[in-house]
Amino acid sequence: MPTLRLPGVDLSLADHGAGRPVVLIHGFPMDHSIWVHQAQALAPHYRVIAPDLRSAGCSSVTPGKVTVEQWADDLAAMLDALKINEPIVLGGLSMGGYVAFRFFQAHRSRLAGLILCDTKAAADTPQAAAGRLELAGRLEREGNRFLADTMPPRLLAPATLDGKPEVVEHLRQIILAGDPVGYAATSRGLAERPNFTPLLPQIDCPALLLVGRQDAISTAAEMNAMARAIPAARIVEIPNAGHVTPLEAPAEVTAAIEQFLGSLA
Ligand code: MLT
């Protein structure tokens, strides 16, 4: 994967195809490869860019803490470096959705549409934020091996855990490949992210919301409430998928995204 040298950070990114730019952002603790199926399917018609965020995957690690503000500004710097001036479609899964909300706030003119996948607008409860700080400390002390065991059962639907061992293994490999110091910095930043709920009625570009019906982290009920708050939103619920729908139900996710992209002017 090519690496883009930006001031203060090296971003590793997959960049394929030509046409309207579609930028796809991963969740935590993950990397760009959760979007591999969609990137392959869309590349004949779109330029699909899937970066590893700062402190994730093969991008450089900023120790301590990375915030949604920083990640969104990294994406804007990435677009500048790639000389992409036309409005993009930005998609994000979970943490990637938090980054997309912040990108909308800070860089609205660069957006033609949003894809919000298995994500939420609310900030952490104090209890959840405290849990993230504890997790950050543990990651720095112990490394990330334990995450590869604890996360898949939380992230994936029972049907995936029981019937798609290759997806479980892919997710485990992604988690293991990341840097524990990067994951710790990410976890601290996520604990501090703002509440984006007041932003939802201001989202004045088309938005596609995608949610796995068995998503235990960003539930279908929560995402339906988000879809009602965003003026031009449509929501697609995906059966037999949990929190990582692009890997768990690749064909359904690709079809929904293709239809959404085709509907944009
Ligand atoms: C993710 O998938 O990015 C995480 O579930 C986000 C979070 O921990 O809030």
Residues 6 or more apart whose Cβ sits within 8 Å of residue 70? 54, 62, 189
CA 30 to centroid of ligand 1, rounded, Å: 9
Q: What is the mean pLDDT of the chain?
A: 98
Q: Rounded to an integer, what distance in angstroms lies between the CA atom of residue 58 and that of residue 50?
A: 12
Average pLDDT in the 18-37 region?
98
User: What's the confidence (pLDDT) of residue 239?
Assistant: 96
Average pLDDT in the 130-136 region?
98
- pLDDT tens, residue by residue, 201-251: 999 999 999 999 999 999 999 999 999 999 999 999 999 999 999 999 999
Q: Rounded to an integer, what distance in angstroms lies between the CA atom of residue 265 and that of residue 259?
A: 12
CA 98 to centroid of ligand 1, rounded, Å: 9
CA 265 to centroid of ligand 1, rounded, Å: 31
User: What's the confidence (pLDDT) of residue 86?
Assistant: 97
Residue 192 clears pLDDT 90, i.e. is over it: yes
The closest residue, in CA terms, to atom 6 on ligand 1 is: 95
- pLDDT tens, residue by residue, 148-177: 999 999 999 999 999 999 999 999 999 999
Contact 110, 87 (CB under 8 A): yes
Above pLDDT 70, what percent of the chain? 100
Q: Rounded to an integer, what distance in angstroms lies between the CA atom of residue 96 and that of residue 93?
A: 5
User: What's the confidence (pLDDT) of residue 265?
Assistant: 72
In the sheet with 207-212, reading across from the earlier edge strand, the strands are: 3-6, 9-16, 47-51, 21-25, 88-93, 111-117, 207-212, 233-238
State pTM to two decimals. 0.98
What are the beta bridge partners of residue 48?
16, 22
Pairing of strands 47-51, 88-93: unpaired
